[in-house]
A = this chain, B = another copy of it.
Amino acid sequence: MEQTSPAALSASEAARRMQDGLLTAEDLVRACLERIDAVEPAVQAWQYLDHGYALQQARAADERRRSGVGVGPLNGVPLGIKDIIDTADMPTENGCALHKGRTPRADAQVVAALRDAGAVIMGKTVTTECAYFSPGKTRNPWNPEHTPGGSSSGSAAAVAAQMVPLALGTQTNGSVIRPAAFCGVFGFKPTHGLIPRTGILNLSRTLDHVGVFARSLEDVALLAEALAGYHPADPDSRPRGRPPFVRILAEEPPIPPMLAFLKTPHWARMEREAQEAFGELVEALGDRVEEIDLTLSATDAWSWQKTIMEAEMAASFEREWTSGREQLSPQLRSLIERGRELRAVDYQRALAGIPRMVESFDELFVERYDAILTPAALGAAPKGLESTGDPAFCTPWSLAGMPALSLPLMQGTNGLPLGVQLVGRRDFDARLLRTARWLCARIEPQR
Which residues of A are in contact with B by a Cβ distance under 8 Å? 239, 311-312, 314-315, 318, 339-349, 352
Contact of A312 among B315, B339, B346, B348 (CB under 8 A): B348
Alpha-carbon gap, A425 to B145, bound state (A): 58
In the complex, chain B residues whose CB is within 8 Å of the CB of A345? 311, 314-315, 318, 339-340, 342
Where chain A touches its partner, the secondary structure class is helix
In the complex, chain B residues whose CB is within 8 Å of the CB of A340? 343, 345
Contact of A315 among B311, B314, B339, B344 (CB under 8 A): B344
In the complex, chain B residues whose CB is within 8 Å of the CB of A311? 344-345, 348
In the complex, chain B residues whose CB is within 8 Å of the CB of A342? 343-345
In the complex, chain B residues whose CB is within 8 Å of the CB of A341? 343
Task: Give the number of times this chain occurs in the complex, counting copies.
Answer: 2
A223 to chain B, nearest CB (A): 27
* Closest Cβ neighbor of A316 among chain B residues: B348
* Closest Cβ neighbor of A240 among chain B residues: B239
* Closest Cβ neighbor of A351 among chain B residues: B315
Candidate in A343, A346, A347, A349 with the most chain B CB atoms within 10 angstroms: A343
In the complex, chain B residues whose CB is within 8 Å of the CB of A347? 344, 347-348
Alpha-carbon gap, A339 to B343, bound state (A): 9
Alpha-carbon gap, A340 to B344, bound state (A): 7
* Closest Cβ neighbor of A355 among chain B residues: B235
Contact of A352 among B315, B339, B348, B352 (CB under 8 A): B315
* Closest Cβ neighbor of A346 among chain B residues: B344
Candidate in A315, A340, A341, A344 with the most chain B CB atoms within 10 angstroms: A344
In the complex, chain B residues whose CB is within 8 Å of the CB of A348? 311-312, 315, 347
A292 to chain B, nearest CB (A): 26
Alpha-carbon gap, A346 to B311, bound state (A): 10
Instruction: Given contacts A239-B239, A315-B348, A344-B346, list 19 more A-B pairs with CB under 8 A.
Output: A311-B344, A311-B345, A311-B348, A314-B344, A315-B344, A315-B345, A315-B349, A315-B352, A318-B345, A339-B344, A340-B343, A340-B345, A342-B344, A342-B345, A343-B343, A343-B344, A344-B347, A347-B347, A347-B348
In the complex, chain B residues whose CB is within 8 Å of the CB of A344? 311, 314-315, 339, 342-344, 346-347
In the complex, chain B residues whose CB is within 8 Å of the CB of A315? 344-345, 348-349, 352
In the complex, chain B residues whose CB is within 8 Å of the CB of A343? 340-344
* Closest Cβ neighbor of A310 among chain B residues: B344
Alpha-carbon gap, A344 to B341, bound state (A): 8
A427 to chain B, nearest CB (A): 11
In the complex, chain B residues whose CB is within 8 Å of the CB of A318? 345, 349
* Closest Cβ neighbor of A349 among chain B residues: B315
Candidate in A312, A339, A347, A352 with the most chain B CB atoms within 10 angstroms: A347
A58 to chain B, nearest CB (A): 39
* Closest Cβ neighbor of A311 among chain B residues: B344
A168 to chain B, nearest CB (A): 25
Candidate in A315, A340, A349 with the most chain B CB atoms within 10 angstroms: A315
Alpha-carbon gap, A281 to B308, bound state (A): 49
Alpha-carbon gap, A312 to B348, bound state (A): 8
Alpha-carbon gap, A344 to B371, bound state (A): 35
A351 to chain B, nearest CB (A): 9
* Contacts A/B (CB < 8 Å), 10 sampled: A311-B348, A318-B349, A339-B345, A340-B343, A341-B343, A342-B344, A342-B345, A343-B343, A343-B344, A344-B344
In the complex, chain B residues whose CB is within 8 Å of the CB of A314? 344-345
In the complex, chain B residues whose CB is within 8 Å of the CB of A349? 315, 318
Alpha-carbon gap, A314 to B348, bound state (A): 10
Alpha-carbon gap, A347 to B318, bound state (A): 13
In the complex, chain B residues whose CB is within 8 Å of the CB of A239? 239
Alpha-carbon gap, A314 to B344, bound state (A): 9
In the complex, chain B residues whose CB is within 8 Å of the CB of A352? 315
A314 to chain B, nearest CB (A): 5
* Closest Cβ neighbor of A348 among chain B residues: B315
Alpha-carbon gap, A96 to B346, bound state (A): 24
* Closest Cβ neighbor of A205 among chain B residues: B348
Alpha-carbon gap, A349 to B342, bound state (A): 14
